[in-house]
Amino acid sequence: MTTRTFDNIRNFSIVAHIDHGKSTLADRLIQTTGTLSAREMTEQVLDSMDIERERGITIKAQTVRLEYLAEDGKTYILNLMDTPGHVDFAYEVSRSLAACEGSLLVVDASQGVEAQTLANVYQAIDANHEIVPVLNKIDLPAADPDRIKEQIEEVIGIDASDAVPISAKTGLNIEAVLEAIVKKLPPPKGDETAPLKALLVDSWYDAYLGVVVLVRVIDGVLKKGMTIKMMGTNASHGVDKVGVFTPKMRDIGQLGPGEVGFFTGSIKEVADTRVGDTITDDRKPTASALPGFKPVQPVVFCGLFPVDAAEFENLRGAMGRLRLNDASFSYEMETSAALGFGFRCGFLGLLHLEIIQERLEREFNLDLISTAPSVVYHLKMTDGSIKELHNPADMPDVMKIETIEEPWIRATILTPDEYLGAVLKLCQDRRGVQIDLNYVGKRAMVVYDLPLNEVVFDFYDRLKSISKGYASFDYHISDYREGDLVKMSVLVNAEPVDALSMLVHRGRAESRGRAMCEKLKDLIPPHMFQIPVQAAIGGKIIARETIRALRKDVTAKCYGGDASRKRKLLDKQKEGKKRMRQFGKVDIPQEAFIAALKMDS
């Protein structure tokens, strides 16, 4: 067995803060290497999902194989691995990075280093990547490449003297990027005579081909017709097709060491393929699996219920369809006294939650009520057992709980100096513990440890609003810590609304309860009777508001005459009704469930 270097291959990814031009550069690289015709280039190629494009973020990792004739006269195969740009998908990012040897670090030359730049580049450094800094958007008048170079050296601590100044938009200097990839990034190494060992980087469901698996071959050869084994799940599958993306799918029959491509076979569900798993030859397995494999765990849960109970089966069908392509999304049936039949769903983070909810509503035309997002708590019971709590409504008797642990995150925030005070206050208000405060050029960089449950509702929105959109934020889950947490229930007209119950820190329970009652008072329309709104811990009421009785005739304003206007108003009222839920005798509008949880004190 001999390990050798595959000199004509380079595997790289692009790391960048959101909007710094990763997709535009990727498109330029594809175009410059002539992989697609100009007509095919009209759309951004790598971001393929609608919602991704609308939100300008990349969710599913994809990859493209480029062929580049370099200045040295040789033709190179360049595999560009696209990485998801958001923290919720950090594990997928780390697997994509593990599949290559180097990264292009794209920094907007008019903006400089941002929180995600740091988080992503540190991940690339952890993956032992060689890093080529690229300064993008130098066509902008505000671009200051020299200052940004200094910033990269100072903050990230890598040599930026050879950083490539480009404009991905105008196509300026793209050749120089390709040359840097060839000259600076190391080629892959591997042993083609060894048993197959490949990293499962990503997988998705294709209507024609079934499950498509993206892999990076480390050793051996992945061939059409062979039987492979996934070492994490111990499942074996026949291989039907082996190929690469150019970015169109092209069959090439086999992939050798250092190569990146896809295969299809007898795999039924995306859930059967775990990102990070090792793929080997079923008949001649490799001795050791690749390190670092961990199944992804949902960290945020919420209930999703159809507004119209008759839509329950449609919702179940839609969730099944989404899960086909997203194994990290989980759901199980749940019944709520107030909301009826629905599902308890698990997500990788808040963005993931929003994306799934939006797709259910948009692609499947469902009207949904979502309950408060909750993190996963670890309960240590008095009998010594450990329980995971996904839903505050399921909280066991407090007498049986010894301690409650909650997940904490480490957050990195970059903000212009003038908003620093407000940012620190926000973190402090959310039980944050300051770890570091530094300067990156003219901007402050603060590192905080925060309980995830304080971040889960509206932290990011608040951060953006207090910094006028200038602060950037990134986080990762760090650990579980014990907290003095209590379950707060909300009662509307003396009926507990389980969908609004939540775990809060004891020290904040009263102010949260008060804020919640005040909010609900505004959100719940007056009825024909008086409605008390209360917050309680155990049997103890900690806050109360009253919605005064009101008899309101919506058509009263239309003095008889205009029938069409009258009908419009009644229709509008009916529309409003549809989005309400009855709790005992009280109608609560759907918006109330999320709005009540936002704490914009």
Ligand X SMILES: Nc1nc2c(ncn2[C@@H]2O[C@H](COP(=O)(O)OP(=O)(O)OP(=O)(O)O)[C@@H](O)[C@H]2O)c(=O)[nH]1
Q: Which of 10, 20, 60, 224 binds ligand X (CB under 6 A)?
A: 20
49 binds ligand X (CB under 6 A): no
Task: Write out the binding residues for ligand X, residues 136-155 only, by CB under 6 A.
Answer: 136-137, 139-140
Residue 24 annotated as part of some ligand binding site: yes
Nearest residue (CB) to ligand X, 57 versus 339: 57
Q: Which of 3, 4, 56, 482 binds ligand X (CB under 6 A)?
A: 56
351 binds ligand X (CB under 6 A): no
φ, ψ of residue 223 to 5 degrees: the values are -125, 150
Contacts of 295 (CB under 8 A, 6+ apart): 232, 274
Task: Write out the binding residues for ligand X, residues 408-447 only, by CB under 6 A.
Answer: none
Distance CA 29, CA 34 (A): 9
Smallest distance, Å, CB 355 to ligand X? Answer: 13
Smallest distance, Å, CB 40 to ligand X? Answer: 17
Residue 552 annotated as part of some ligand binding site: no
Smallest distance, Å, CB 27 to ligand X? Answer: 8
φ, ψ of residue 577 to 5 degrees: the values are -55, -45
247 preceded by a cis bond (ω within 30 of 0)? yes
22 binds ligand X (CB under 6 A): yes
Q: Is 556 exposed, middle or buried (0-12, 13-18, 19+ CB in 10 A)?
A: exposed
Distance CA 260, CA 250 (A): 13
Smallest distance, Å, CB 206 to ligand X? Answer: 22
Smallest distance, Å, CB 288 to ligand X? Answer: 35
Residue 278 annotated as part of some ligand binding site: no
- The strand pairing partners of 189, in sequence order, are 5
Please give the biggest Cα pair distance in the chain.
Answer: 92
Smallest distance, Å, CB 16 to ligand X? Answer: 5
18 binds ligand X (CB under 6 A): yes
Which range binds ligand X by CB under 6 A, 13-21, 371-379, 408-416, 539-547?
13-21
Smallest distance, Å, CB 134 to ligand X? Answer: 10
Q: Which of 16, 199, 353, 376 binds ligand X (CB under 6 A)?
A: 16
23 binds ligand X (CB under 6 A): yes
Query: Tokens 């909301």, residue?
Result: 339
Residue 19 annotated as part of some ligand binding site: yes
Asked if 90 and 276 count as a contact pair (C-beta separation under 8 A), the reply is: no
90 to 129: interface string for ligand X, x by CB under 6 A? ----------------------------------------
Q: Which two tokens stand for residue 527?
A: 């009825």
Which range binds ligand X by CB under 6 A, 32-40, 50-58, 205-213, 475-483?
50-58
Smallest distance, Å, CB 282 to ligand X? Answer: 38
Which range binds ligand X by CB under 6 A, 20-28, 349-357, 433-441, 544-552?
20-28
Query: Tokens 């010894």, residue?
Result: 402
Q: Using H for helix, E for strand and C for coil, what is the string for 342-378?
A: EEEEEECCHHHHHHHHHHHHHHCCCCEEECCCEECEE
Give buried/exposed letters for 324-350 (b at 16+ CB in 10 A, else e): bbbbbbbbeebebebbeebbbbbbbbb
- The strand pairing partners of 443, in sequence order, are 416, 440
Distance CA 363, CA 564 (A): 33
61 to 90: interface string for ligand X, x by CB under 6 A? ------------------------x-----
167 to 206: interface string for ligand X, x by CB under 6 A? xxx-------------------------------------
407: closest CA among 350, 448, 451, 460? Answer: 451
Residue 20 annotated as part of some ligand binding site: yes
Cα-only R_g, the chain: 27
Half-sphere exposure of 253 (CA within 13 A, CB side): 0
Which range binds ligand X by CB under 6 A, 11-19, 149-157, 175-183, 506-514?
11-19
Asked if 167 and 27 count as a contact pair (C-beta separation under 8 A), the reply is: no
φ, ψ of residue 541 to 5 degrees: the values are -75, 125
474 binds ligand X (CB under 6 A): no
Q: Which two tokens stand for residue 579?
A: 């989005």
Query: Residues in the chain, how many?
Result: 601
Which range binds ligand X by CB under 6 A, 54-62, 210-218, 513-521, 578-586?
54-62
Q: Which of 21, 232, 349, 392 binds ligand X (CB under 6 A)?
A: 21
Q: Which of 9, 29, 57, 520 binds ligand X (CB under 6 A)?
A: 57
Distance CA 16, CA 107 (A): 6
Smallest distance, Å, CB 22 to ligand X? Answer: 3
Count of Cβ atoms closer than 10 Å to residue 496 Cβ: 17
60 binds ligand X (CB under 6 A): no
Q: With CB under 6 A as the rule, give the number of residues binding ligand X.
A: 20
Count of Cβ atoms closer than 10 Å to residue 578 Cβ: 10
Residue 21 annotated as part of some ligand binding site: yes
Quote the distance between the C-alpha of residue 182 and its chain's center. Answer: 32
Which residues of the chain form contacts with ligand X (CB under 6 A)? 16, 18-24, 47, 56-58, 85, 136-137, 139-140, 167-169
Known binding residues are 19-24, 136-139
Known binding residues for GTP are 19-24, 136-139
